Amino acid sequence: MNWLEVSVAVQNEVAEAVAEVFSRYAQRGVVIEAGPDGWDAGPVFVRAYLPADDQLGDYKRGIERALGHLNQILPVPVPTFRSVAEEDWAEAWKAQLTVLHIGRRIVVQPSWLDYTPDPDDVVIQLDPGMAFGTGLHPTTQLCLAAVEDLVQPGQRVLDMGTGSGILAIAAAKLGAADVIAVDDDPVAVQAARANVAANGVSSVVHVVHGSLADVSAGYDVIAINILARVITHMLQAGLAARIDASGGWLIAAGIIDEQEPEVIAAMERQRLAVAERRQKDDWICLIAQPQAS
Ligand code: SAH
């Protein structure tokens, strides 16, 4: 099948709103990439792929209309469209990935590249498919390092919005006894299941197609790397109550710096105390704990 790539270069603060518009039409996820000057300066690129089927015209018009509305509030340039053959898309995307060292011991190895590990390495072999979570994005890197710092052998971990499964696999390889990896996107669920199996952690990581309502409580560590809006909503809907009250941790990321106060306020309403704040480029990761009552 052929695909139509839609992309637009926007300022960082507009990127999420544009990504949300694209995600209504894109079947294979939306990516936000740093521009040539990095995440801090200049525009970032929001890209998505639309299936070139008989609804393509409707998708294009829908995107143009929604971006037009957005442009009345925030400046959004006209998007560009480009036809891409399936094979070219897969190859272009693969060429971007390299072996990455993150945190102290974590190594993300794209499954088609060779890597000889050091004895201490925690290697995650990844073929993200079309799901988010290649390890390239600063927000994923912040979460991986936090997972490495917090997850102890034998613990129960929840990875809410697992994407490629990257954080869940890291938790399992760090010794977690039971990891639930949840995503509401079937493409992510498929990619996560394949990656979990390829990493030999299927007996520890259970990938669930669903969302907050599908998970129980009592987790030692919960990682959520989605958007500030989704985190805030889930905090209200009972995410906080699913953290083990005696010493459990929440790792919340996917937050652009200006949205941080909103997320902190939502945490405080749920009696979570922020213990640590980490930042990479414009992205914030908050580490919080239930307050002792
Ligand atoms: N955990 C990975 C992927 C993060 S991308 C990483 O850290 O890199 C966020 C993921 O959350 C996406 O795969 C998306 O499908 C999923 N997601 C978004 N909203 C969700 C919701 N309401 N319930 C469950 N999953 C959701």
pLDDT at 166: 95
Residue 190 burial (10 A CB sphere; 0-12, 13-18, 19+): middle
Quote the ligand 1 centre to 45 CA distance (angstroms): 19
Residue 131 burial (10 A CB sphere; 0-12, 13-18, 19+): buried
Quote the ligand 1 centre to 160 CA distance (angstroms): 7
Computed on alpha carbons and rounded to an integer, the radius of gyration of the chain in Å comes to: 19
pLDDT at 90: 64
Residue 92 burial (10 A CB sphere; 0-12, 13-18, 19+): exposed
The CA distance from 4 to 168, in Å, is: 32
Asked whether 161 lines ligand 1 (CB < 6 A), one says: yes
Asked whether 183 lines ligand 1 (CB < 6 A), one says: yes
pLDDT at 49: 84
Tokens at residue 163, please? 């994407």
Protein residue with least CA distance to atom 7, ligand 1: 140
Asked whether 140 lines ligand 1 (CB < 6 A), one says: yes
pLDDT at 292: 80
Pocket test for ligand 1, best of 144, 151, 226 (most atoms within 8 A of CB): 226
Protein residue with least CA distance to atom 10, ligand 1: 161
pLDDT at 131: 60
pLDDT at 196: 97
The CA distance from 93 to 110, in Å, is: 11
Nearest-CA neighbor of 5 among 42, 56, 74, 39? 56
DSSP 8-state secondary structure symbol assigned to residue 257: G
The SS3 call for residue 46 is: strand
In which residue are the tokens 């996107």 written? Answer: 185
| Degrees to nearest 5, angle at CA 251 with 249 and 255 | 150
Ligand 1 atom closest to Cα of residue 143: 7
- Confirm if 249 and 289 have CB atoms less than 8 A apart: yes
Quote the ligand 1 centre to 116 CA distance (angstroms): 30
Q: Give the pLDDT of the chain (293 residues) as one tens digit per residue.
A: 678 889 999 988 888 889 889 988 886 667 887 776 766 777 888 888 888 888 889 999 999 999 999 998 888 999 999 888 766 766 666 666 788 899 999 999 988 888 999 999 999 998 866 566 677 788 999 999 999 999 999 999 999 999 999 999 999 999 999 999 999 999 889 999 999 999 999 999 999 999 999 999 999 999 999 989 999 999 999 999 999 999 999 999 999 889 999 999 999 999 999 999 999 988 999 999 999 86
Pocket test for ligand 1, best of 132, 144, 207, 242 (most atoms within 8 A of CB): 132
Residue 262 burial (10 A CB sphere; 0-12, 13-18, 19+): middle
pLDDT at 97: 72
**pTM passes above 0.85:** no
Protein residue with least CA distance to atom 14, ligand 1: 161
Ligand 1 atom closest to Cα of residue 212: 23
pLDDT at 26: 81
In which residue are the tokens 């809410």 written? Answer: 160
pLDDT at 4: 87
Asked whether 226 lines ligand 1 (CB < 6 A), one says: yes
Asked whether 133 lines ligand 1 (CB < 6 A), one says: yes
